[in-house]
Amino acid sequence: MPEKGIVNTKQFIWLLYIIISSFAAMQIPGMLIMQAGRDAWLSVLCAWFLDVMLALVYAYMGIRFPGENFVQYSITILGKYLGRMIGILFPLFFLLVSTIVLKGLSQIVSTVFLPTTPFNVILVSSYFVSALISRKGIEVIARVTEVLGPLFFISVMVLCFLVLPDFAIDRLKPQFDEGVRQFIVGAPILLTTFGVCIIMAMYIPLCNRPENGFLAKFSAVSLGALVVGLLTALAVGIFGIEDAQYMYSPGLELAKMINFSNYLERIEIVWLLILVGSTIVASSSLFWAFGQGFAQIFGLKTYRPLIYPGALLSLVLCVASFPRSAQQTHFYHYTFPIIAFFVETGLELFLFGAALILGKRGTA
Amino acid sequence: MTGLLFFLALAIGLAEGIPLAKQNLRKELVVMSSLLGIATLLAAGNYLGFSSPLMLLERVLEPIGKAVFK
């Protein structure tokens, strides 16, 4: 097996949480408000429930195929050739997610914090740092998340607490004024984002207690749902849906408005730390999963030489596919949920069904 | 940007490829070079005005997304 590192359950939780937090710090709350309006916070609850259900399948497969991740058990279930064809889709999906995440990060940093710095400098730097961390291995990434994850969670909670005086609950009413369709359609957008935590299937074989896979995912998604739910509810309750739905990062706008008697101000820098930290670490996890998955598909002894080429491939895709920020947002809103739904839910349920029908089990 | 991408591909190829060749890890070298080759081809294609794979995917899936989401 190319990766020999071990993670514990606590690190497992923060590894997953940091991925959700990177999306929450960017455009997902705004997209959710655009889709579901005042009912966005209900979409969060719906997505949380569906994702927990999906986590049961991933956790079961992790136990049914001990010591194997989904790339490996797709080969065990479907055989050498078809299994590899299906299995390669997972690492490619992680590469796609890293492309979207790093483009989103660079866009916010360039627009809000470093407007005079050339965009490509920010983009290439983000890729370089992510790849550098990724090449150090899963244990290093896990230790980083163990420090940053709780820090980011507490920071978001404090930010939410500080904007609470401006919150008007009347702006969240009436619920269901355009029927239930809106919040039901909003749930898949968030589900596909939470669903990136299918990366859990790459961590389960490396966890010192693989049976805790479900617990880790449940805890991480619950924390993530709390953060996204609070941000969407506060953004709607403070700015109203008319303004909140067009915000690129509602959390950033919330942080910008904190001002206590000219004493406590420019708090958005805390948001920048959360955004940069979580996105870089999340991308490094995704590059690691890409390298690890590819190494297993091709039967390589090590995944490390694939990290920088993978990051370069993602950078080229980013430059070629999203020359403007609107294109990334457009892709993330309309195309990504379809791809993600296919990979996160469709492929895994297909593997789950195939394993049951063919009676395949892991041998370790 | 295309020039920078080519330079990065060359730098990564040398930095990763030489140790792999010395250790006689041929399979790793082939996969690593293939990834760099694909990245270089995509960068060249973008420079020449060809659509990227993500744009092609978007053309196929976007109508479905627009039918479902607002």
Contact indicator for A114, A122 with CB cutoff of 8 Å: yes
Average pLDDT over chain A reads: 88
Task: Return the pLDDT at A287.
Answer: 95
**What SS3 state is found at A280?**
helix
Phi first, then psi, for residue A207 (nearest 5°) are -80, 140
Best A84, A316, A322, A342 residue to mutate vs chain B (most B CBs within 10 Å): A316
Nearest to A22 by CA among A213, A285, A198: A285
The percent helix, strand, coil of chain B (3-state, each to 5) is 85, 0, 15
A207 - beta bridge partners? A7
Contact indicator for A100, A111 with CB cutoff of 8 Å: no
In chain A, which residues have their Cβ closer than 8 Å to the Cβ of B35? 294, 306, 309-310, 312-313
Nearest to A31 by CA among A18, A21, A44: A44
The whole-number average pLDDT for the span A319-327 is 84
Task: Return the pLDDT at B36.
Answer: 94
The model's confidence at residue B35, banded by pLDDT at 50, 70 and 90, is: very high
Tokens of A256: 């910008």
Task: Return the pLDDT at A97.
Answer: 93
Task: Return the pLDDT at A364.
Answer: 61
The whole-number average pLDDT for the span B40-69 is 90
In chain A, the N- to C-terminal Cα span, in Å, equals 13
**Residue A230 burial (10 A CB sphere; 0-12, 13-18, 19+):** buried
Give percent of chain A with pLDDT exceeding 70.
Answer: 99
Contact indicator for A172, A41 with CB cutoff of 8 Å: yes
Record: contact A302-B4, CB cut-off 8 A: no
Task: Return the pLDDT at A68.
Answer: 86
Give percent of chain B with pLDDT exceeding 70.
Answer: 100
Higher pLDDT pick, A126 / A263:
A126
Q: Is the pLDDT of residue B70 over 70?
A: yes
Tokens of B50: 């060809």
Best B27, B47, B51, B69 residue to mutate vs chain A (most A CBs within 10 Å): B69
Instruction: Name the H helices within A164-212.
Output: 181-194, 200-203
- Rounded to two decimals, what is the model's pTM? 0.93
Task: Return the pLDDT at A338.
Answer: 92
Smallest Cβ–Cβ distance between B54 and the set A182, A299, A321 belongs to: A321
The whole-number average pLDDT for the span B22-34 is 93
**What SS3 state is found at A7?**
strand
Tokens of A356: 């049951």
Task: Return the pLDDT at A285.
Answer: 93
The whole-number average pLDDT for the span A215-244 is 89
Count the residues in chain A: 364
Higher pLDDT pick, A329 / A297:
A297
- Please state, in angstroms and rounded to a whole number, the distance separating the CA atoms of residues A208 and B13: 35
The percent helix, strand, coil of chain A (3-state, each to 5) is 80, 0, 20
Q: Is the pLDDT of residue A46 over 60?
A: yes
Nearest to A40 by CA among A196, A231, A170: A231
- Please state, in angstroms and rounded to a whole number, the distance separating the CA atoms of residues A145 and A143: 5
Per-residue model confidence as pLDDT tens digits over A160-198: 888 888 888 888 888 777 777 777 888 888 888 888 888
The whole-number average pLDDT for the span A245-260 is 83
Closest-CA distance of chain B to residue A241, Å: 14
- Contacts A–B by Cβ distance under 8 A: 115
Chain A positions contacting chain B at CB under 8 Å are 34-35, 96, 99, 120, 124, 182, 185, 188-189, 294-295, 298-302, 305-306, 308-310, 312-313, 315-317, 319-322, 330-331, 333-335, 337-339
Tokens of A26: 């960017």
Higher pLDDT pick, A37 / B7:
B7
ipTM: 0.95
The whole-number average pLDDT for the span A114-129 is 92
Closest-CA distance of chain A to residue B18, Å: 11
The whole-number average pLDDT for the span A93-104 is 92
- Please state, in angstroms and rounded to a whole number, the distance separating the CA atoms of residues A214 and A9: 10
Least confident window among A52-61, A121-130, A179-188, A210-219: A179-188
